[in-house]
Structure 1
Amino acid sequence: MMTQSITRRQIGNEAEPLVVIDGFASDPDALRTAAAEAVFVSAGQHYPGIRAALPDTYLRDQLPLVARALGREFGPCRRIRVVDAQFSIVTMAPDALDIRQRLPHVDAYGRDRIALIHYLSPTNRDGTAFFRHRDTGFETIDETRAPVFFERLGSEIAAAPPQGYIADDTALFERTALVDAAYNRALLYRSYVLHSGAIADDAVLWSDPAVGRLTITAFLAIE
């Protein structure tokens, strides 16, 4: 039986909740086997890599633990609705990224939307970083902040386009937290927190799930 531990912390000046769960799935090796047999395709949109469908049982098995791990820090929750969930592997070379992939991002604006990342590589340690926009001080982007944030960010990147993946402090963003990947570790945080995959400059971005940066990424709504 896999030993589980749940660590709760608050990050940045805005003290957003971040939950780290080690030993997240009871059989991570079975998930790796499923990924090896899955058909991966280009993720499209903003994700710099490929994605594939999950086993049907994954969310059924994991949602009770997610509900327990969320606790009270994320607000009242009567049920969790799955918006999207897939195997994911980052494969895009740093010099092939478009401008949106070179910056911290948010996945949704509402406080009721939760992101889940489940790391499934035994060797890759490239985790997830969280950021503060220096000019505005924003660490989260909601519908009210979005117009100001994107207007200022557009001016900044026009003057000095960023290069490669962002994993640490830059002229435009200050890193507020970093969680390294570890086998069978999962993160939960609000989708409107500025974040990015912390991909090392020298990372070898294999598309093979046996050796690549294999994760499960899911987006949930708490209702």
Structure 2
Amino acid sequence: MRQPRLRFSRIGQQQQPLLVVDDFIPQPEQLIQYALQQADVRQAAGLYPGLRSTAPAAFGSYLLQYLAQPLQQCFALDPTQLQQIESYFSLVSTPAAELSPMQSIPHFDRPCPDELAAIYYLCDERHGGTSFYRHRSTAYEAITPERQDSYQQALQADFHKHGIPKGYICGDTPLFEVIASVPARFNRLVLYRCSSLHSGDIKPDYKYDLNPGSGRFTIASFLSAAKI
């Protein structure tokens, strides 16, 4: 059994923290088997371009327990405050031609630097990893509450100047530039701030596969402070 391997880095001009953990779970295949038994699979709400279902709570508990010390060291967060975890099995299924404009650019999960997001890969490098971006006209690499209004205004100006984006973003464009990329790898976890601009690397010729055992299958997790 391989031991987990952790790699921490800071990316972009704003030095946003990024943690990559390889061989994260001892028996990842069990998660695929669990997912195949779920009946409540739905089109995702929000910007995710595909299907989602609830992942087992044990996954989030394991994440918090195993990464308690790295969370403190890498993100300067007290792991005891991050007690609310949402985790979802996620499977890309939306054709590029059906994406909304906001699905065709990098997104941020929440404008909250003290909350974290994770992508856990249950697929390999053939399905594309995750890239992190800088918005060219504002130089923003992460969106905070103070930046939201100016970012939205700048996006509208970009759309007017360059046209409405179409399809999946996968690399540099006139609006955004890549500051870091993490390839997909089976049993790899990528952890970052919810405010970081990012997108899955879905190539134009990607072959959509709705089988969790062979498609672009991941678990998306969101870590936030417990509500009182």
The reply to whether TM is greater than 0.5 is yes
Per-residue CA deviations over 1:33-69 (Å, capped at 9, x if unaligned) read 1112223211122111000121242222232123233
What is the aligned partner in structure 1 of residue 201 from structure 2?
Answer: 198
What is the aligned partner in structure 1 of residue 14 from structure 2?
Answer: 14
Secondary structure of the corresponding residue to residue 64 of structure 2:
helix
What is the aligned partner in structure 2 of residue 4 from structure 1?
Answer: 4
What is the aligned partner in structure 2 of residue 115 from structure 1?
Answer: 117
Does 1:52 find its partner at 2:35? no
Change (3 A) 1:58 1:78: closer
**Cα offset for 1:119?**
0.2
Contact in 1 for aligned 2:125/2:183 (Cα 8 Å): no
**Cα offset for 1:31?**
0.6
Contact in 2 for aligned 1:125/1:180 (Cα 8 Å): no
What is the aligned partner in structure 2 of residue 148 from structure 1?
Answer: 150
Secondary structure of the corresponding residue to residue 215 of structure 2:
coil
Secondary structure of the corresponding residue to residue 128 of structure 2:
coil
Secondary structure of the corresponding residue to residue 34 of structure 2:
helix
What is the aligned partner in structure 2 of residue 75 from structure 1?
Answer: 76
**Cα offset for 1:27?**
0.9
Change (3 A) 1:93 1:124: same
Q: Relative to structure 2, which stretch is displaced further, 130-139 or 59-68?
A: 59-68
Change (3 A) 1:214 1:187: same
Letter in 2 for 1:186: L
Contact in 2 for aligned 1:129/1:177 (Cα 8 Å): yes
Secondary structure of the corresponding residue to residue 83 of structure 2:
strand
Distance in 1, Cα, partners of 2:155 & 2:148? 10
Distance in 2, Cα, partners of 1:132 & 1:46? 19
Distance in 1, Cα, partners of 2:2 & 2:29? 11
Consecutive unaligned residues in structure 1, runs of 5 or more: none
Change (3 A) 1:27 1:174: same
The count of residues paired between Structure 1 and Structure 2 equals 223
What is the aligned partner in structure 1 of residue 62 from structure 2?
Answer: 61
**Cα offset for 1:157?**
1.4
Letter in 2 for 1:53: T
**Cα offset for 1:163?**
1.8
4+ runs deviating over 4 angstroms:
none
The percent of aligned pairs where both chains have the same amino acid is 34
Does 1:188 find its partner at 2:191? yes
Contact in 2 for aligned 1:125/1:182 (Cα 8 Å): no
**Cα offset for 1:122?**
3.9
- Counterpart pick for 1:139 among 141, 145, 155: 141
Per-residue CA deviations over 1:158-206 (Å, capped at 9, x if unaligned) read 3411121112000010110010000000001001011111111111121
**Cα offset for 1:83?**
4.0
